[in-house]
Structure 1
């Protein structure tokens, strides 16, 4: 037994030297992530820096825009917004995004460097004099890992030349600013998410290798941690005291502190390692709480048909303009019924404040041309109808209108909106659906295994339990 104990101690000692450095990096970067995430060009800033839509300049109908876009069928999504000062339809087809100017019907050609520079100067006029083209990004760099290059085309990287070292990534296919980074956001990005997730570009672009490293590295660390706990418990003596009867540990000095601290923090480390590993959904143990594509399409449909929109986009802009200056309007359908949705932009000066962090005000305009109904929320009855369309073979057990977060639907700032309708069904998986009253979207789906994941992963890893979160 002593020989076995000695072997375990040596294995724990030498593997612990390696893994403790990894654990230190994970814990330190996790603390950074409480305050900083990856660089982004947030929705509030994206909307704030667009030019307002002018109804008088929208001369092309939505049907004509679809015809000129040359898509293989109807678009999957469709918007009316501005590029520079000009109104433009943006349509998503099977091959990617196509933009058609709403004033003259011209199809947008891929942007060259100077056109992308013009987009950046218009969005950030305060830096128009110093902005300059950096390069063309044709494959993922550190900050564009996961960007859909197949849909957006290459990205023009523009340096604004400001004191903050701001860089913009402009899509060649759409002229949209896909990402904004600053010197500070890049620094915190490295210190937080990149270090925590091992998101270093050369490794991360090798998807399967990166995935296996995280999963099996976490598993190996968990074994090392459990080994330390086994040794620590084994070496505790409750009946035979050491150091003159004052200690339960046979060790002295720093080793005694290591023994006691390891027993306490080793348990916490094990929970972080286990929950972090489970967040990668190894062996497909959980389906995830995102709705399935077919469920989303059961509500909003697979295609946008302009023929259903009796109210013209120009008239929709006028409806929104009675409340706020619209900058982007989306064509949407809800159970086959067409409507437009637009969000009120915040002033550029308010970016970075609590005003910009809050959920933006929005309006829904019914677009069938029969009744120009304007509102802000779908009713519980409409959302329940949508939930039943998603789950036609199951019966709802109850439907609850949530104006406060519950234990499974929650978030910070504007990342989760209220109210939502939660509908629970009597199917074998115990499905719960959460539908956003602002736009009718199915935003979350919970089944038995995802509710377990919520506590095993989020509860243990992020400590987001109701009495702390």
Structure 2
């Protein structure tokens, strides 16, 4: 028996050594890049930025009705999104089809806009509130900041610099002129040391989503095995009766590893789970069939006259046309947020009735109106939309929908697996749980402290690994 235990300890030691040599530098860079990400997030076009870039909608110039836009688009079904907003100095209908295809039609003439030239892109960008002097930077099909598949329907892009103090650059869809993304100089520089490193977001790799996911899962999985074996080995060494049998870097690695090994293991485990291995965690948005059932209308029709749209509030940047439970809804979006307009506000009862159709085989178990964030309705980057309706169904997946009670917009979908992932990722990886979730400054301090502990563990391991390789 003693021989078996001895061999197991030997294999544990060898496994930790070589797994650590293979992944220690990855773990070091993950902790460093994670700290950078706390200060500078990955470039994204926020809703506030999108609305600000649109400018005020000129309803007096609109000549084409929503119905006319649908007919001109040739869509056989009501699109996933139909929006009236400005395109530079001209109002336009922006149409997103169910398969993601985009169209832009003039709300004055009804004609589609021609593909963007460099000159036309610079002119469009000149209407952006941050613009100082627009410069066409050329055509971009895919780069570091537009690498994911969600940008595919908008490619290629016209890249335009605004010559402002922040070094803002806009990505405009060459096909429609739609603003897809904005980036600043700070985001572009720091994200190389932040998200790009942390997520292994190299463009040639990330462009192949399946391969990228496999690479990240394998690298982080091997690192996790190294972390677990080291944490176990650290306690095995303590059982020898001395605080540590090592000296120098090895002593630091041992003692800090025992003290902070759980931090390393939980960060690695939650990071690995964030890749949703084997699709363990359910989707966060309703699928096309659910949205169609909620709308209760799939035909490409919308009964709104141009004079009826004049009831939109002053300062409106966009009007969105949709159906909820077979009834037309117009939502006006402006700097103050989104609200129904033109006499089309849905009632809570109508929203609930429409939502029941999304899961026809399941009973609606409860409807809860949330006035404040809770453990499952929150936003790590700010306050979530409130109030919100939570509709819980008794289907096998335990599905919840979160819906804006004012506009009827579906804000999210989660099932039992997604709620589990909330604790396995957000609670473990970002410490967004319990008292820390209520005190952002304290949570940030704890994350920095834990990251520093993880850096000592992984950094000392990298030093030891390098020394071992040098010895041969």
TM range (shorter): 0.7 to 0.9
Which residue in the other structure is 1:441 paired with? 409
Paired residues in the alignment total 432
Which residue in the other structure is 2:316 paired with? 326
| C-alpha separation in 2, matches of 1:50 and 1:465 | 36
Which residue in the other structure is 2:463 paired with? none
Deviation at 1:160, TM superposition (A): 2.5
Contact 1:77 1:303 in 2 (8 A): no
Change in 2 beyond 3 A, CA 1:37/1:304: farther
Contact 1:380 1:401 in 2 (8 A): no
Change in 2 beyond 3 A, CA 1:50/1:433: closer
State the secondary structure of the residue aligned to 2:312. helix
Equivalent position to 1:397, from 365, 373, 378? 365
Contact 1:299 1:386 in 2 (8 A): yes
| C-alpha separation in 2, matches of 1:431 and 1:75 | 25
Equivalent position to 2:147, from 115, 137, 145? 145
Deviation at 1:3, TM superposition (A): 6.0
| C-alpha separation in 1, matches of 2:152 and 2:10 | 56
| C-alpha separation in 1, matches of 2:367 and 2:149 | 37
Question: When the two structures are superposed, what TM-score results if normalisation uses the length of structure 2?
Answer: 0.84
| C-alpha separation in 2, matches of 1:150 and 1:452 | 31
Equivalent position to 2:424, from 436, 447, 456? 456
State the secondary structure of the residue aligned to 1:100. strand
Equivalent position to 1:176, from 163, 175, 178? 178
Change in 2 beyond 3 A, CA 1:439/1:406: same
| C-alpha separation in 2, matches of 1:162 and 1:432 | 44
Contact 1:429 1:447 in 2 (8 A): yes
State the secondary structure of the residue aligned to 1:118. helix
| C-alpha separation in 1, matches of 2:42 and 2:221 | 26
Change in 2 beyond 3 A, CA 1:52/1:467: same
Which residue in the other structure is 1:351 paired with? none
4+ long deviations beyond 6 Å: none
Change in 2 beyond 3 A, CA 1:34/1:304: farther
CA-based RMSD of the aligned residues comes to 2.4
Which residue in the other structure is 1:384 paired with? 352
| C-alpha separation in 2, matches of 1:451 and 1:95 | 28
**Aligned pairs for 1:299-378 within 5 A:** 299-301=294-296, 303=298, 305-306=300-301, 308-309=302-303, 311-316=304-309, 318-321=310-313, 324-345=314-335, 360-365=336-341, 372=343, 378=346
Change in 2 beyond 3 A, CA 1:265/1:104: same
**Deviation string, structure 1 residues 402-453 (Cα, Å, up to 9, x no partner):** 1112211211466731111122233333333322224313333333322222
Unpaired segments of 5 or more residues in structure 2? Answer: 438-472
**Aligned pairs for 1:101-250 within 5 A:** 101-124=106-129, 126-128=131-133, 131-138=134-141, 140-146=142-148, 148=150, 150-237=152-239, 241-242=241-242, 248-250=243-245
| C-alpha separation in 1, matches of 2:388 and 2:433 | 20
Unpaired segments of 5 or more residues in structure 1? Answer: 243-247, 346-359, 367-371
Change in 2 beyond 3 A, CA 1:95/1:385: closer
| C-alpha separation in 2, matches of 1:187 and 1:203 | 20
**Deviation string, structure 1 residues 310-352 (Cα, Å, up to 9, x no partner):** x424422x2123xx3112111111111101111122xxxxxxx
**Deviation string, structure 1 residues 72-104 (Cα, Å, up to 9, x no partner):** 554332111111221112223458222221222
Deviation at 1:16, TM superposition (A): 1.8
| C-alpha separation in 2, matches of 1:76 and 1:17 | 50
Contact 2:297 2:323 in 1 (8 A): no
Change in 2 beyond 3 A, CA 1:115/1:148: farther
**Deviation string, structure 1 residues 111-161 (Cα, Å, up to 9, x no partner):** 111111110112257413xx22111112x1101112555532411111223
State the secondary structure of the residue aligned to 2:231. helix
Contact 1:109 1:173 in 2 (8 A): yes
> Which structure exhibits the higher relative contact order, with contacts defined as CA atoms closer than 8 Å and separated by 6 or more residues?
2
State the secondary structure of the residue aligned to 1:393. coil
**Deviation string, structure 1 residues 384-410 (Cα, Å, up to 9, x no partner):** 223322222222332211111221121
| C-alpha separation in 1, matches of 2:139 and 2:295 | 36
| C-alpha separation in 1, matches of 2:20 and 2:261 | 12
Deviation at 1:209, TM superposition (A): 2.0
Change in 2 beyond 3 A, CA 1:45/1:446: closer
Which residue in the other structure is 1:349 paired with? none
More helix by share: 2
| C-alpha separation in 2, matches of 1:197 and 1:70 | 40
Which residue in the other structure is 1:42 paired with? 46
Contact 2:70 2:300 in 1 (8 A): no
Contact 1:29 1:193 in 2 (8 A): yes
Question: When the two structures are superposed, what TM-score results if normalisation uses the length of structure 1?
Answer: 0.85
